[in-house]
Structure 1
Amino acid sequence: MIKVVRGNPTPEELAAALAVVRARAAATAAAEAAGAPPRGPEAWSSPTRIARGLPPSPGPRSWTRSYWPA
């Protein structure tokens, strides 16, 4: 069941959103039926992508390396 929590979508917008959800569910069901292994998390959401290098060392301008390694 899908419930609209905020906003007031038009019938066309709601139909488009439901079409995407149904297509995704059908693709997942087809992959399971074919025996494909379940997909892992996407690469963009992996925490290792953010911290690939060494942790920043203290020193001048170390704040520039504190979140996104170069």
Structure 2
Amino acid sequence: MIKVVRGNPTPEELAAALAVVRARAAAATAVPSGAAAARPRDSWADPARLAARAVPRPGPTAWARTYWPG
């Protein structure tokens, strides 16, 4: 069941949205369940790249260390 929560879409917009949902559902059922887990992770999605360097510990002078040049 699809329910429009906000806005007033035209019938064409609803048909386009439904086509996308049905295509995604068909693609999800076409992929075997073990194939998604075997796929390697992209490096851009790795959370470790965001913490490449040490972050300062919070404390009384943390406001002065919020800008790190370089």
TM-score, normalisation: structure 1: 0.60
1:62 to 59, 62, 65: 65
Structure 1 residues without counterparts, runs of 5 or longer: none
Deviation at 1:40, TM superposition (A): 8.8
- Call closer, same or farther: CA 1:16–1:59 in 2, change over 3 Å: same
CA radius of gyration, larger in = 2
The residue number in structure 2 matching 1:52 is 52
- Call closer, same or farther: CA 1:40–1:15 in 2, change over 3 Å: farther
Counterpart Cα distance in 1 of 2:54 and 2:26: 42
Cα RMSD for the two superposed structures: 3.4
Q: Secondary structure of the residue that 2:27 maps to in structure 1?
A: helix
The residue number in structure 2 matching 1:21 is 21
**Residue type of the partner of 1:62?**
R
- Call closer, same or farther: CA 1:14–1:60 in 2, change over 3 Å: closer
Structure 2 residues without counterparts, runs of 5 or longer: none
Identity percentage of aligned residues: 57
The residue number in structure 2 matching 1:32 is 32
Counterpart Cα distance in 2 of 1:2 and 1:40: 33
Query: How many residue pairs end up in the alignment?
Result: 63
Deviation at 1:9, TM superposition (A): 0.2
